[in-house]
Structure 1
Amino acid sequence: MVVYTEGCRLTLSSKALYFESLGVGQYDKAAQYDLSTDLKQVIKPELTGPLGARLFDKAVMYRAVTLEEPIFLEFPEFKGSSRRDYWLDITLEILLAHRFVRKYHLKGFQESEAVARAILGIFRCRAVREGFYFFSSHYKTLLLFNLAENLPGGDTILETLSSCLAHLRTSSTQADSYSSGSVCTEKQHMVYPVSLLALRRFGLILQEDVEFDQEATYGSGYIHVGEVDLLEAAVKQSKVDTGKAVAAQETVNQVKVDGIDANIAIMKELLFPLIVLAKRVQFLASWEEPFKSSVFLVLMCYLFVSGWFKFVLPFILVSLAVLMLWHRLANKGKLVDAFRIIAPPNKNAVEQLITLQEAISQVETLVQAVNIVLLKMRALLLAVLPEATYRVSIFFLLTAALFILVPFRFIILFVLMEPYTREMPLRRESSYRWLRRLREWWFGIPAAPVQLIKHEDSKKKK
């Protein structure tokens, strides 16, 4: 892991990011991190700190296939992370602009126009940041490609923009012919590389082989005659979708609660119908009332044997659709009543930590049990216990033959009915003996050995 701190110079160009460390009286040779070619680059915020501790959220990570390990650029400041956020956003803007160019196969001055739009957005962001002495998240709207990456329907905006860039013109001859009253039967789009022209007038040249008429007057936007501006329509639709997404996110933020007990209580209430259904099925499987259990068994067997079971899932989906449509017609836009849940008793910080520790312990126990199962399966696969491996292989062969010879719906019926009929009076004793022998056989299988090797980090840290 390489961590860069103060005493360096960072430069962002239209194609790469350059890092220069401070040597003796001058900067060392710059390290270049390409942003224009497809190197599977990943740029994201990262936590760094002394001795590998993840303490400070003030770094940017850059990863690419050309690097053996990611690099981290630190932007230390006393409070906040505005410097890091600024460099992260403008670097992502250049990276996303080149991804846009590659995705839609833009060439020549079309590619230069796309990159020029990203550069002008960065200039505007920098001007706002320098003018107000801070960088707010709202200023990210000045970065076209960064914004389109996060907006609902942003891909549609970029697709429409690519089609607009396909009609770029570097001459105003056609515009003059339209203004002089010439008639044309085809609808034509007149789109000029205004961003590229603006950078050219600022003295920044992205492409030298593009000829501009310095005395001509170019349109400042997309000129459409007799039709709707497709880019403007895509942006308006994205604004509508964004408003819906923001409103939905506000409702999500309102229902978030703190505490494990409170979240578990909410989950139990939301899953209450399924819990009740599972309890009823479990009650039928206990055979405490043989008549009800027998009726349910006969009904399930009839559904599978007659082939009606394939209509159960469509029936459930149709019922849910009808229920939702009925609620839509009945409510007529009215607000839904709040879901009332009895809150669990409050716990102090120590009790919450104990609850969290118990939950972590249960998860650890579950992971250990899963690992034991996997290691025993590995032992069976490698024939650590030859007799058990022979039995399992014979069982697999018989199961394969069963899948070939028996219709699949009968196999599903057997898989569902076997645990359901275990507590049946006719099967109770035999099922108990069979499960006991199965557990004893499973406990007698040794686990495959595991050796933990201590990780040695021999890589140099700079």
Structure 2
Amino acid sequence: MAMVSKTRNMLEGLVREGSFKWLIKNRTEFDEEFEEMKHSPSGGRNWIPELSPVANLVVRRCSKILGISTNELRENFDLEASDSLKHPSQYARNMLEYCSFRALALSTQVVGYLEDRSFRRLTFDMMLAWEFPAASSQPFVNMGDDVTVGMEAFARIAPAVPVIANVIISDNLFEVLTASSGGRLQFSAYDKYLSGLERAIRKLRTQSESSLLSKLRLEQGEKILEVDGTVTTQPVLQHVGISTWPGRLILTDYALYFEALRVVSFDKPKRYDLSEDLKQVVKPELTGPWGTRLFDKAVFYKSVSLSEPVVMEFPELKGHTRRDYWLAIIREILYVHRFIHKYRITGVERDEAILKATLGIVRVQALKEISSASSPCYESLLMFNLCDQLPGGDLILEALANMSSSRELDRTNHSKTGSRMYSMSTLAMASSLGFVFGTSSNDNEAGLCVGEVTVGDMTPLERALKESRSNYKKVVVAQATVDGVKVDGIDTNVAVMQELLFPVRAVGKWLLSLAYWEDSLKSSVFCLFFSYIIFRGWLGYAAALLLVFMAIFMVLSRLCSQGSVYELKVIAPPAMNAMEQLLAVQNAISQAEELIQDGNIVLLKLRALLLSIFPQASERLVVAFVCMALILAFLPSKYVILLVFLETFTMYSPLRKASTERWTRRMREWWFSIPAAPVVIERARDDKKRR
């Protein structure tokens, strides 16, 4: 009794001194729980001195959910946790995570748990307690509706409920939710998101049970994820060749369906399979009247099962948000099935992978509903889309696949040992949302399965993700420099390129001056020096020495620069008006056309030589090929290289200049005398049906 009285007096003293003023500014559930703890005879015994006040109250709520006392929870943690988890510097946070994961696992087994506002508040308070877990930590915010949490706390607690987030997209999701609140998450925004998430899940369940879509003849377990084009004023247009149909587009977790709109009903749906390995290509596409490419509002779909590509257009007055959304969710389903095929995932793990993609789409739908600002980057909120873009994303998927392959073993081990160090599986939590995914999603285990987060440690998935994000930051910085140096105008870009190529041009001019023997002494020394290197077989050493010299130059440049950046200074050419720019473009196109024509002529003349259309020239070429073959076959390679070098470098020496000019003239005359192979241009016939 003395201990209880002492603890009660301590709590009352803390309130009088103002230590809990951040808790009692506005009366909340914490106030009621605190009052209950203060007047409870067991209040002192249930107080864990290593934890902060807010962490103690969260742990107490967890103990109520689990039906055991706080002391029993602590004893279980001390028994199951390793010594590293019980280190004094990390004890409070690890203890909090342990209690939170166990309580969340039990809470999410209740049907409709996402609708319960007390559950939403519990998860948010867990994030707050995670930020201030230890008794020595004191939050600098008031405890109430205006309290906020940071990204690390959200990324740690939210993935413990896979419906809310997962470790791959949690940071990006947090940025979207805090776009208008300065990087801190408010409970009002969090509660609004969960409400939207619950409505999106209800919509998903309703769509899959709808009788209007029964004629799709879905496969067993196939779920309808999104439908568009039901409003006649905003249809989806399907383009196949030159034909166009308005209609309704439906995405499931296995395929894409399009129903062409007739007078009073929809036509038989066309199925585009996303689950099989059909070499599908899904990308943005431009459309326009009569085949013109004007409007960036369509999705291009191609697979080996189709004779020609299909284009789905999403008309809207401005922008292409509607198309971007559909492009992202179609790719998400395509990528998850590629992931399944690549790592040969089957059974429960296969169902869980598809569910992860499905929940990602549900989150995007919830954010679309509640967000009034500009639409977020959908790819960054869908885990398989994001892994396709992140550097090292393949390593993230590999870690995810390894976690899936070891899930059965972990589940067996945990059921034997009774371990509670892991969060719950996605399928087990999703079954409480009112629908079942896959054929193997029933999970009646009493223990907790391997999840994406573990108490006091990072999973291989989290480590791969952390490294990928670190590399991605470098890519973002590098891309910012790329965007910063882009200039407008053909003439300005040409000036920049000329300045960048100045060292190469200088070396080229120096080599040409040596090759044309403008200074006989320098050319003679250069020729003798390289001839000796080739003769001794030192070309490999020479190349290695050149690379070492470049490495030394780079190191010296780094040491001399001392962090400063050498800027490239370019003198901008005179400004050009619109007409001059058009003429410059036209001139560049004409020059490019001439180069292509000259290239085609060279290829046609070579074709004529190979086919002996001009026998005399072909005979000479045959003799030249035979001689070259004999030289290459019987002469050592270093002598061949030496002969080629001497032949090339001494062509314009004083002794050979006259003969070289004469030989060059004869070669030019011989080349001009070769006729080009004939070409017949035929126009392709358009046999496509017009509707």
TM-score by length of 1: 0.91
Partner of 2:425: 193
1:311 match: 541
Which residue number corresponds to residue 385 of structure 1? 614
- Displacement, 1:268? 1.7
Question: 1:139 offset after TM fit, Å?
Answer: 4.0
What amino acid is aligned across from residue 484 of structure 2 in structure 1? Q
Matches within 5 A, 1:239-388: 239-332=469-562, 334-388=563-617
**Residue in structure 1 matching 2:672, options 424, 443, 456:** 443
Aligned equivalent of 2:314, options 75, 96, 103: 75
Moved more, 293-302 or 115-124: 293-302
1:57 equivalent among 296, 301, 314 = 296
| Identity over aligned pairs, percent | 45
TM-superposed CA distance for 1:217, in Å, is: 6.8
Q: What SS does structure 2 have at the residue aligned with 1:25?
A: coil
Letter of the structure 2 residue corresponding to residue 80 of structure 1: G
The whole-number CA distance in structure 2 between the counterparts of 1:5 and 1:250 is: 41
Matched, 1:233 2:463: yes
1:30 deviates by 0.5
Q: Is the 8 A contact 2:415 2:447 kept in 1?
A: no
Aligned counterpart for 1:416 among listed residues 625, 628, 645? 645
Q: Secondary structure at the match of 1:456?
A: coil
Structure 2 counterparts to residues 157-172 of structure 1, below 5 A: 157-169=396-408
Q: Secondary structure at the match of 2:377?
A: helix
> Would you say how many aligned residue pairs link Structure 1 and Structure 2?
452
Deviation at residue 179 of structure 1 after TM alignment? 4.8
- Say whether 1:42 aligns with 2:266: no
**Contact 1:16-1:35 within 8 A present in 2 as well:** yes
Match of 1:394 in 2: 623
| One-letter amino acid of the counterpart of residue 670, structure 2 | W
1:36-81: per-residue Cα shift (whole Å, max 9, x none)? 0000000000011111111111110110001011001010011001
CA distance in 2, matches of 1:32, 1:338: 55
Q: Any idea what SS the aligned residue of 2:557 has?
A: helix
Structure 1 residue matching 2:531: 3-state secondary structure = helix
Query: In structure 1, the residue corresponding to 2:266 is in which secondary structure?
Result: coil
Q: Which moved more, 1:97-106 or 1:276-285?
A: 276-285
Q: 1:445 to 1:174 in 2, by over 3 A?
A: closer
Q: Which residue of 2 aligns with 1:185?
A: none
Q: Deviations over 1:319-365 (max 9, x none)?
A: 11122223333444x13132212121211121122122112111111
Give 2:684's match in structure 1, choosing from 433, 455, 458: 455
Mean alpha-carbon deviation: is it higher for 168-177 or for 281-290? Answer: 168-177
Which residue pairs with 1:186 in the alignment? none
Partner of 1:433: 662
Give 2:443's match in structure 1, choosing from 209, 212, 217: 212
Larger CA deviation: 335-344 vs 111-120: 335-344
Which deviations, in whole Å up to 9, do the C-alpha atoms of 1:220-242 show, x marking residues without a partner? Answer: 93464786421111111112111
Q: Offset of 1:309 from its aligned partner?
A: 2.2
Distance 1:293 1:208, change over 3 A: closer
Query: Greater CA deviation, 334-343 or 122-131?
Result: 334-343
User: What's the CA shift for 1:269?
Assistant: 1.6
Paired amino acid for 1:142: L
1:395 Cα shift?
1.0
Structure 1 position 219, deviation (Å) = 6.1
Q: Take 1:426 and 1:172, find their aligned partners in 2: how far apart are those partners?
A: 86
CA distance in 1, matches of 2:298, 2:242: 9
Aligned AA (1:274): V
C-alpha separation in 2, matches of 1:340 and 1:359: 25
Contact 1:175/1:190 (8 A) holds in 2: no
* Counterpart residue number, 1:90: 329
Match of 1:19 among 253, 258, 261: 258
Distance apart, 1:209 and its partner CA = 3.6
> More deviation in 129-138 or 432-441?
129-138
CA distance in 1, matches of 2:332, 2:544: 47
Using a 3 Å threshold, how does the CA distance of structure 1 residues 171 and 429 change in structure 2: closer, same or farther? closer
C-alpha root-mean-square deviation of aligned residues, in Å?
A: 2.4
Q: Contact 2:428–2:442 at 8 Å: present in 1 too?
A: no
C-alpha separation in 2, matches of 1:134 and 1:140: 17
The CA distance in 2 between the partners of 1:135 and 1:21, in whole Å, is 31
Cα deviation code 1:418-454 (max 9, x no counterpart): 2322221211221111111111111111111001111
636, 650, 658: which one aligns with 1:407:
636
Using the alignment, how far apart are the partners of 1:230 and 1:170 within structure 2?
16
Tell whether the 8 Å contact from 1:3 to 1:72 is kept in structure 2 after alignment.
no
- The 1:257/1:18 distance shift into structure 2, 3 A limit, reads same
| Cα separation, 2, equivalents of 1:207 and 1:446 | 69
Alignment CA distance shift 1:204-1:393 (3 Å): farther
Contact 2:535 2:639 in 1 (8 A): yes
1:221 aligned to which of 436, 445, 451:
451
Decide whether the 8 Å contact of 2:357 with 2:382 is kept in 1: yes
Worse overlay, 413-422 or 90-99: 413-422
List per-residue Cα deviations over 1:173-224 (Å, max 9, x = no partner): 854654589xxxxxxx957531x2344333333323443228x474693464
Per the TM alignment, residue 313 of structure 1 is displaced from its structure 2 partner at its CA by 1.2
Tell me the TM-score normalized by structure 2: 0.62
**Structure 2: stretches of 5+ with no match in the other structure:** 1-239
Secondary structure of the structure 1 residue equivalent to 2:564: coil
Structure 2 CA distance for aligned equivalents of residues 352 and 319 of structure 1? 43
Amino acid at match of 1:264: V
Determine if contact 2:259/2:266 at 8 Å carries over to the other structure.
yes
* Contact kept? 1:82, 1:135, Cα under 8 Å: no
Q: Once the 2 structures are TM-superposed, how far is the Cα of residue 147 of structure 1 from its aligned partner?
A: 0.6
Distance in 1 (CA, whole Å) between partners of 2:283 and 2:245 is: 20
CA contact (8 A) 2:422 2:448 kept: no
Distance between the aligned counterparts of 1:180 and 1:52, measured in 2? Answer: 63
Query: Secondary structure, in 3 states, of the residue corresponding to 1:424?
Result: coil
Contact preservation (8 Å) 2:360, 2:381: yes
Instruction: Give, as a single letter, the amino acid of the residue that structure 2 aligns with 1:387.
Output: Q
Q: Which residue of 1 aligns with 2:360?
A: 121
Moved more, 62-71 or 409-418: 409-418
409 and 360 in structure 1: CA distance in 2 versus 1, 3 angstrom threshold:
farther
Q: Which residue does 2:140 correspond to in 1?
A: none
Q: 1:385·1:445 contact (CA, 8 Å) conserved in 2?
A: yes
Asked whether the 8 Å contact 2:425–2:449 carries over to 1, the reply is no
SS where residue 250 of structure 2 aligns?
A: strand
Deviation of 1:413 after TM superposition, in Å, equals 2.8
Structure 2: distance between partners of 1:106 and 1:322: 50
Which residue identity lines up with residue 26 of structure 1 in the other structure? S
Counterpart-to-counterpart distance in 1, 2:397 and 2:453: 18
After superposition, the Cα gap between the structure-2 partners of 1:415 and 1:364, relative to the gap in structure 1 and judged at 3 Å, is farther
2:573 partner amino acid: P
Distance 1:165-1:286 versus aligned 2 partners, 3 A rule = same
Per the TM alignment, residue 300 of structure 1 is displaced from its structure 2 partner at its CA by 1.8
SS at match of 2:335: helix
Gaps (5+ residues) in structure 1? 182-188
Partner of 2:407, secondary structure, is coil
Give the residue type in structure 2 aligned to 1:367. I
Kept in 2, the 8 Å contact 1:129–1:135? The answer is: no
Partner of 1:422, secondary structure, is: coil
The structure-2 alpha-carbon separation of the partners of 1:397 and 1:172, relative to structure 1 and needing over 3 Å to count, comes to: closer
Distance 1:74 1:433, change over 3 A: same
**For residues 461 and 39 of structure 1, do their structure 2 counterparts lie closer, same or farther at Cα, with a shift above 3 Å needed?**
farther
